[in-house]
């Protein structure tokens, strides 16, 4: 999978040219949802910045961040999701626990998934605090800033 205009600087942080660890998908942004356009072989995942006032004394650190962003995956050959832990509240589905790339030829269900963040091969699995997972096999992924999640 080719990342066209961003990198994963950690398992939860996206960076862009000149902006290392720019978008924190665990501590700052809340995941909103996923849209799968099967006829276009496209998946969009969206994140939204909560109201700046909700950050209290740390609001100054997030006030200049984009209000939301989308990760768009194109050339999707496979898309899968696993359910969340029924013992956990659905609110835990909004908090990303980590994104893991798995190189081609290896299978994450066999325990070989690796935390590799700057790889241009394989597939990516997003794991949320609730145990809910989304795995995407795609040719490329693009970061789209400031697009609100409900404007598809």
Torsion region of 91: left, alpha or beta (phi above 0 gives left; psi -120 to 50 gives alpha): alpha
Among residues 74, 71, 70, 69, the alpha carbon closest in space to that of 42 is found at 74
pTM of the model: 0.86
Q: Determine the 3-state secondary structure of 39 from DSSP.
A: helix
What's the whole-number average pLDDT of the chain? 86
Q: Answer whether residue 122 shows pLDDT above 50.
A: yes
Token pair recorded at residue 19: 């902006």
For residue range 71-97, list pLDDT tens digits in order. Answer: 999 999 999 999 999 999 999 999 999
Give the separation between CA 65 and CA 133, rounded to whole angstroms. Answer: 26
Give the separation between CA 130 and CA 20, rounded to whole angstroms. Answer: 27
């Amino acid at each position: 999978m080719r990342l066209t205009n961003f990198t994963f600087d950690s398992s939860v942080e996206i960076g862009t040219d000149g902006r290392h660890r720019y978008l924190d998908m665990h501590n700052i942004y809340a995941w909103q949802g996923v849209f799968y356009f099967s006829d276009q072989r496209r998946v969009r995942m969206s994140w939204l910045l909560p109201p700046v006032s909700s950050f209290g004394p740390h609001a100054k650190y997030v006030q200049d961040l984009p209000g939301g962003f989308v990760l768009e995956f194109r050339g999707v050959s496979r898309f899968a999701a696993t359910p969340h832990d029924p013992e956990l509240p659905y609110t835990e589905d909004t908090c990303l626990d980590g994104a893991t790339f798995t190189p081609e030829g290896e299978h994450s269900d066999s325990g070989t998934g690796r935390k590799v963040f700057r790889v241009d091969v394989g597939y990516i699995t997003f794991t949320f605090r609730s145990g809910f997972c989304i795995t995407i096999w795609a040719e490329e992924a693009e970061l789209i800033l400031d697009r609100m999640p409900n404007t598809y």
